[in-house]
Structure 1
C-alpha cells in the first residue's frame, strides 16, 4: 500500500451508520450538555455563594446573599445562551443568542435555563443564516455597519418572540415537569428513575441526562427549596464504587489489578467513565449498578437529602461541598452513598463469583467490544494498515487533541496520560483536550476520541488522522501512538544509497570531521527543522542531549526553526546535506556539521570528544 493510499484511508470519513433512538438522544443530549459544561464553574460559584451566605448557610451575610437571585435568573441562563449561540456561529452568534434570551428571562418568573438552551442556539442559527444570505451583497466599507445593526435587530426581534412566545411555553412546560417530578417524589417512585439512568450512563449518555435534564430542573427546585435531590441521581458515586470494589476482591487478571486505582479515580476524582468497561465486560453487572442507584436514591428521598447545586465532577468531595449546612443532610448523604456502594458490591460480587468464564484479558476484550455494543463498527483506524504504512501516516502529525462530549473529565485525564508518555519518550508534541463541538480540521492533527464519537470526529475534522479508543483512561493504543511517532521520526528522509553508488574515499570518510570546524568555541549545538517537519530533528536533539550528558560536557542542545538561528561562531548546526545548502545561503558565521544520519552519525563520537 502506498503512502498516499494510507493517508487517504486514515483520513476518509467513517461510513455512516443507521441512526437509532439512542444516537438521536445522544446527539440532542450532547448539544444540551455542551452548553452547560463550559459554564459549570459558574454553577459551582452560585452553589457555593448560596451554601455559604444565604440565611442558614455557613456564614450568613444578607449583603452578599443578594447575588444569589440575579445569578440564577440572569447570569447562568445568559452564559448558557451565549455558549449555545457561540457553538453555532461564533462570538457573534453568542451575542445574538444572549440578547434573544433576555426576552424569555424577563417574560418569566422562573430561572430560564431551558429557555436559554432554546434561544441561544436559535440566535446563533438565525444570524448565521442572515450572514450567509447577504455575504456577497454588502458593499465594501459598509461591512461593520451592516454586521452591527443586523445583530442588534436580529437580537431584538428574537427577544420579542421569546417574551411573548417561547417564554410562556417554556414556563408552562417547566411547571408541568416540576409537578410531575414532585408527584414522583411524593409517591416515592423517584428511585425507579435509576433503572434508566444507570444503563444510560454506561452508554455515555451521562452528560445528556445530568447537564441536559436534571441540572436545569434541579436548579429551579433549589432556587425555591434551597436544595434538590435531582443533583444526586446521576453523580452518586456509590454504584460505581461498589462495582469496582467487587472487582478488586473477586475479579480476575487485568480487571482485578486495575480496579483499586480505578476506585480512587472514580470516587475521589469523580471520573465515572472509568468503570463503564467493567460493566460492559459482563452485561449482568448492569443489575449491580441499577440496584445501587435505586438504593441510593431511595435513601436520599427517605431522608430528604439534597444538594444546592450540581457537583462537578461527581466525586464524594464535591457532593459534600455542595451539601447544605445541615448535619442531617451530611449524614443522609453519607448513608445514601454507603448503602448504594454496599448493594452494588453485593450484587456484583454474586455475579462475579458465579462467573466461570472470565479470563485475564477479559477487561481488554470488553473494551474492544464497546464500540460494537454501542454504535456498531468503529471509525477507520490506522491499525488496519500495514506497519510501514501506519508509520508513514504519522509523518505530518505535530499535535494531538483528545475530543470528548464535553471536553472535560475523562478526555483531560486521557490527554494527561498520553502527554506523560510522549514526554518520557523524548518527543516534542502538544497533547491537549477539547469538546468535540470545538474540534477544527487543522493540518498535522491527530484526533483521539471514544468509539461512539468517531463519526462526529470524522465530520468535524475529515482531513485529520483519527484514532478511536474504548476508554480514555486505560487504552493500550497510547503506547502504539508513541511507538509510531518514534518510528516515523527515525525514518530517514534521504533515499538509501544503491549498491552501484561509489564508495567514499578517504577524504570523504563518514566518520571524519570536516576541516575548519573549531569545536573548542562551541557552546550550543542546534538541530534545525524546516518545512514544518519536526520529527527527526526532535529525536536527534533528544539523543544528542543524552550523549552530551554522559560525556559531562557543558554544551546546550536545542531544536529550533531554520529562521531562528543566531549567526554566531559559537553555534554548531547539525543538518542534513539538503538543509546545509539553505543554511549557507542565510548565515556566514555559524559552524555547520553535515551528516546523512541525524540520529546516529559516526561523526558524533569525535565531535563530542572535541567539545570543551
Structure 2
C-alpha cells in the first residue's frame, strides 16, 4: 500500500516538477507587475492571468500525457485540457490538468496498441493525425462537461476547508502530516500535487498564499542538522552535519536530512513542532509566497516572498529552526544515533527506490549454500562486468569460495545460485534462470541491496567451514595467467580515446560522443552509436558514484571490430536520470578482452581520492597511468 501511494505521489510530482519554471515565472510577474506589486505595470500585468489560466494547465496536462502516452499523448493531453479550462476560466485548472492530461495519454496509447499491426500501408500519417485530433476533441468535450465542473466543485470544497483551518488557527496541525510524509519521500507529491494547486488559486486572488510555505520551509530540517552538529556522540555523523546543512539550506535538497531522522525516528518530533510554530507565525503575520519555492532553499524561499514580507518570513524560518533545534538536541544528545548514518542512508536509498516504483529485493535463503553469483545486464559486457568485479573484490577476503562473474541477462548459467540484475530486467532474469534467487538493484556499484547481500554472505561465511581453492575459479574471473607480454595485449585504451574537461551536454549527446569516438578510433562501425542509444533506453548504464559506461546492445556485438574503451570526463556532470555522471566510459567488447580494464576501473573507483581527482583533473598522463 505504501509503495502504491509513493508511486502515485511520484507520478503527480512528475507532472508538476518539469514545469516549475513556468510557475516561478508567473510568481515573478505577479510579484512585480500586478496592481499591488513592487513595480506595477498595466501592460506587463496583462500576461499574468493568461499564464495562470491557460499556459500552466496546458503544460502540466501535456507533461502528464507524455508520461503515459509519449509524444502523441502530450498532444492529446494538451488538447483535452482546453475543455476543462474553458468550462470555468475564473479558476486555475491545475487539478483538472493532472487528471485529463494522463487520461489523454492513456487513450492514445490504447488506440496505438489496438492499431499495432493493423495499420494500412501508406495511411500511417493520416490515421495518426486524425486519431490524435478526434480523441483530443472528444476528451476536450468531456473536460468541458464533466472534469472541469467536478474539479471546480472539489477546489471550492478544499479552499473552504483551508479557509476554515486558517480562520480557526488550525492550519499548523498540517505539520503533523507534512514532516513524516517528507521522510517517506512524499514531499514533492504533497507540495506539488496538493498544496501548489490550492496555493496557485489563492495567489491568483490575493497575490500570495501561505500554502506555498508549508512544505519547503528549510527551518525544521536545519534545526535537526544543527542538533546533530553540536550534540551527536558519533564523530562521523557529527562531522557530516555541516556539509549537509549547506546542501539543505542553500541547495534546497531536503532529502539530505532524512537519514538523520531515520537514524533516530524519535527526532521526527522536532521538525513537526518546529513547522507547527512557524506556520502559526506565518498565519498570524499574514505571510505568503507569490509562487512555489522549488527547490526548498532559503534563496528560493526569499525570492518568492513579497518585499514587505521578507523580514516576517526570515523570522518564521528562524523560529522553525530554533524550535526544531531545541526539541531535537536533547533527543540526539541522549541517543547519540541508534543506528549508523550509513545504515540510515541505505534505508533511505531503498525507500527512494520504492518511491520510484522499483522493487528492492535483498533477502536470500540459505546464504551458506551460495556458490555462484552472476551479475547480469542486457549485453553482459559493461555494467554487469564492473558490478561483478567490484563485488568480487569485496568478497575475496571473506568468502573466496564464492564464484562471482557476469553475463547477459538472457544467458544466466543453469548453476547460478543468485542473479543480481537491475529492476527493469527482473522478468527476463526469471525466465532465463528460474532456479536462481534474484537480487534486484538500482545500479551495480553503490546499492543498498548489494550491501545487504554482502552482509548476509559474510555472516553465513563466518559460520561455515566450507572453502574452495582458487583453482576452482575460472580464469576469466581469477585472472588469466598467460605469458603474453605487454606488447601482445590489444590496445584497449589509448590516449586519443581520452577526452578531458568536456562541456556539459545531455545524456544522449554524451553517449553519442562516446560512440563516435569509438568509431573514429576504429573499434566499431558507426551503426554501433545508435545501438548505444537503444541500450540506454532499455535500462540505464549509470553505475553509481558518478560513473556511466554506455555500450551497445547484445545484438550490436557484430558491429564491433575490436575491443576498445574510450573515456570522457564531464566535470560539471551529465544528467543520467536523477543522477549525474562525471565520468563516461564508452565500451565495445569482443569476448572478455575488456574485462581486465573494467577491473582496473573498479580498483580506481574504490579509492575515493583518485576517483574525485579523476572527475576534475586535466592531466592526461595521470589518467593513463591510473587506468593502465
Change (3 A) 1:398 1:79: farther
Change (3 A) 1:382 1:308: same
Match of 1:324 in 2: 306
Match of 1:484 in 2: none
1:197-217: per-residue Cα shift (whole Å, max 9, x none)? Answer: 111101111011001000111
SS of residue in 1 equivalent to 2:47: helix
Match of 1:68 in 2: 48
Change (3 A) 1:155 1:369: closer
Change (3 A) 1:141 1:373: closer
Q: Which moved more, 1:164-173 or 1:57-66?
A: 57-66
Report how far residue 458 of structure 1 moved.
2.7
Q: Is 2:105 the partner of 1:150?
A: no
Report how far residue 365 of structure 1 moved.
2.9
Change (3 A) 1:582 1:276: closer
Are 1:541 and 1:559, in contact at CA under 8 Å, matched by a contact in 2?
Answer: no
1:6-25: per-residue Cα shift (whole Å, max 9, x none)? Answer: xxxxxxxxxxxxxx2x3332
Q: Which of 423, 428, 445 is 1:458 aligned to?
A: 423
Match of 1:175 in 2: 156
Q: Is 2:121 the partner of 1:140?
A: yes
The 2-side partners of 1:71 and 1:296 are apart by 31
Match of 1:111 in 2: 92
Are 1:53 and 1:62, in contact at CA under 8 Å, matched by a contact in 2?
Answer: yes
Q: Is 2:471 the partner of 1:527?
A: no
Report how far residue 176 of structure 1 moved.
1.0
Q: Which of 26, 36, 52 is 2:16 aligned to?
A: 36
Report how far residue 60 of structure 1 moved.
2.5
Report how far residue 596 of structure 1 moved.
11
Are 2:362 and 2:450, in contact at CA under 8 Å, matched by a contact in 1?
Answer: no
The 1-side partners of 2:270 and 2:486 are apart by 70
Change (3 A) 1:562 1:100: closer
Q: Is 2:95 the partner of 1:121?
A: no
Normalising by structure 2, we get a TM-score of 0.63
The 2-side partners of 1:257 and 1:129 are apart by 53
Match of 1:586 in 2: none
1:229-256: per-residue Cα shift (whole Å, max 9, x none)? Answer: 0001000010000000000000122221
Match of 2:3 in 1: 23
The 1-side partners of 2:125 and 2:213 are apart by 48
The 1-side partners of 2:28 and 2:94 are apart by 19
Report how far residue 29 of structure 1 moved.
1.7
Larger radius of gyration, structure 1 or 2? 1
Are 1:527 and 1:541, in contact at CA under 8 Å, matched by a contact in 2?
Answer: no
Match of 1:300 in 2: 282
The 1-side partners of 2:115 and 2:594 are apart by 56
1:256-281: per-residue Cα shift (whole Å, max 9, x none)? Answer: 11111101100110000010111111
Taking the TM superposition and a 5 Å limit, the aligned residue runs for 1:384-403 are 389=373, 396=380, 398=382
Change (3 A) 1:36 1:393: closer
Report how far residue 540 of structure 1 moved.
12
Are 2:16 and 2:193, in contact at CA under 8 Å, matched by a contact in 1?
Answer: yes
Are 1:382 and 1:467, in contact at CA under 8 Å, matched by a contact in 2?
Answer: no
Report how far residue 134 of structure 1 moved.
2.7
Taking the TM superposition and a 5 Å limit, the aligned residue runs for 1:205-216 are 205-216=186-197
The 2-side partners of 1:308 and 1:163 are apart by 29
Q: Is 2:24 the partner of 1:59?
A: no
Taking the TM superposition and a 5 Å limit, the aligned residue runs for 1:310-459 are 310-326=292-308, 329-355=309-335, 358=337, 362-370=340-348, 379-380=360-361, 389=373, 396=380, 398=382, 458-459=423-424
Match of 1:191 in 2: 172
The 1-side partners of 2:127 and 2:486 are apart by 69
Match of 2:244 in 1: 262
The 1-side partners of 2:102 and 2:228 are apart by 43
1:282-330: per-residue Cα shift (whole Å, max 9, x none)? Answer: 111111111111011111111111000101100000011001121xx11
- Structure 1 unpaired stretches of 5+: 1-19, 401-421, 423-442, 445-456, 481-490, 499-503, 515-524, 529-536, 543-557, 567-578, 584-594, 601-607
SS of residue in 2 equivalent to 1:313: coil
The 1-side partners of 2:251 and 2:375 are apart by 35
Are 2:69 and 2:105, in contact at CA under 8 Å, matched by a contact in 1?
Answer: yes
SS of residue in 2 equivalent to 1:379: coil
SS of residue in 1 equivalent to 2:307: coil
The 2-side partners of 1:117 and 1:378 are apart by 26
Say what the alpha-carbon RMSD is for the aligned residues: 4.4
Change (3 A) 1:71 1:256: same
Are 1:527 and 1:559, in contact at CA under 8 Å, matched by a contact in 2?
Answer: no
Change (3 A) 1:512 1:347: closer
Are 1:229 and 1:306, in contact at CA under 8 Å, matched by a contact in 2?
Answer: yes
1:409-440: per-residue Cα shift (whole Å, max 9, x none)? Answer: xxxxxxxxxxxxx9xxxxxxxxxxxxxxxxxx
The 1-side partners of 2:218 and 2:283 are apart by 16
Change (3 A) 1:538 1:174: farther
Are 1:323 and 1:330, in contact at CA under 8 Å, matched by a contact in 2?
Answer: yes
Are 2:73 and 2:105, in contact at CA under 8 Å, matched by a contact in 1?
Answer: yes
Are 1:46 and 1:71, in contact at CA under 8 Å, matched by a contact in 2?
Answer: yes
Higher-RCO chain (CA-CA 8 Å, sequence separation at least 6): 1
Taking the TM superposition and a 5 Å limit, the aligned residue runs for 1:550-561 are 561=518
SS of residue in 1 equivalent to 2:491: strand
Q: Which of 75, 78, 86 is 2:66 aligned to?
A: 86
- Structure 2 unpaired stretches of 5+: 385-389, 391-407, 410-421, 430-438, 455-473, 499-514, 524-557, 563-592, 600-623
Report how far residue 463 of structure 1 moved.
5.9
Q: Which moved more, 1:238-247 or 1:45-54?
A: 45-54
Change (3 A) 1:164 1:263: same
The 2-side partners of 1:233 and 1:114 are apart by 19
SS of residue in 2 equivalent to 1:63: helix
Report how far residue 46 of structure 1 moved.
1.3
Report how far residue 597 of structure 1 moved.
11
Match of 1:483 in 2: none
